[in-house]
Amino acid sequence: MSSNKHKVLVYINYSLCFLVLNIITIFVAKAQQDPQYSQYMFNMLTINPAAAGEDRFIDAYMLNRIQWSGFEGAPRSTDAGISTQLPLLGQKDGVGLNFNSDKIGYYQNVTVKMSYSYGVVLGGGDLRFGLSLGILNKQFSPEWKDPNFGDDPAIPTEDIASVAFDFGSGVYYKHKYYYFAASVSHINQAKFETQGNSLFVNRNYYLSGGGFFGSPWKDVTLQPSFLYKYDGVVGQLDLSVLATYKGRYWGGITYRPDDAVVVLGGIRLRSGLRIGYSYDITTSSLGSYSSGSHEVFLSYRITMAQKRTHHYKSVRYL
């Protein structure tokens, strides 16, 4: 009797965990299919292929995010990319490569994509058009293969994976003192087949912009920016302000309505390495179960010119 009771309790426990994680996954998939990053101003290539090769540099970056720390099964995301300008026939062509891994509960989405952008001079700035082509892999990996669970066919116990092609496009206008960008990911709304079930990836729409302003304080500049995300169901807005000192040190705050207040900061070393960190203070109901979200950002840029000392008056380059 005791053994049967134990099996029932184990079954109920895992069933509840499975249900909760699926609800979280469905909510995240519908409200924010693409991973969320608080330091979005530093990895524009992730959401907009037109950002590839926006300047004559080799620009590599990596960003790691632990969302809702302390909440079991919460999202864990890693984003890495590299891009450069590749002049062809006198034009400002750009190419980029991006890798993204997003794990939520028992689910993991991995995307690898190539981006191409074409730029023209317009109104004192550069207008770029971009396209991306990649592969999106969705995988389900149950971690609770408990022998007490039995062989219930309703609950998968084996890894499930499905791969599909993915397309995106974007436009990006960058002036010396400001930028605006718009893009769409998952244009083809890839279809996945998993054990007889069909899953479609919704399109995600992005609108972003930022600028550079002086301040009353010497060597301090203010750099506001915003990012609006919409997946056809729910929209989300990030409003940010960074203060930069001598172009090397920055600190700031982001407000994400009904979700979080973010504190972020970083440093640009003379070698070209940039290091950033952000902490999300959760303001939604999940704040009762989480100690916030952590995000670490690293990037390195190599100029294609002979001199390596460059200063930028742009929200995109600190």
pLDDT in 10s for each residue of the chain, 318 residues = 444 444 433 333 443 344 344 444 444 434 347 888 999 998 899 999 999 988 778 889 999 998 877 777 778 899 999 998 887 656 678 999 999 998 887 778 899 999 999 988 888 889 999 999 999 888 877 665 555 545 555 555 566 778 889 999 999 999 888 999 999 999 988 877 665 566 778 889 999 999 988 878 888 999 999 999 998 888 899 999 999 998 889 999 999 998 899 999 999 998 889 999 999 998 877 666 677 889 999 999 887 654 544 444 454 545
> Among candidates 225, 166, 173, 233, which has minimal Cα distance to 205?
233
For residue 219, the model assigns a pLDDT of 87
What pTM does this model have?
A: 0.79
Q: So what's the pLDDT on residue 104? A: 82
Q: Euclidean distance between the first and final Cα of the chain, in Å? A: 66
Secondary structure in 3-state letters for 272-295:
CEEEEEEEEEECCHHHHCCCCEEE
Chain centroid, CA 259 distance in Å: 16
Kindly tell me the sign of the dihedral angle through the C-alpha atoms of 69, 70, 74, 78: positive
pLDDT given for residue 2 in this prediction: 47
Per DSSP, the three-state class of 21 is: helix
pLDDT of residue 7: 41
Please report the pLDDT score of residue 305 as a whole number.
56
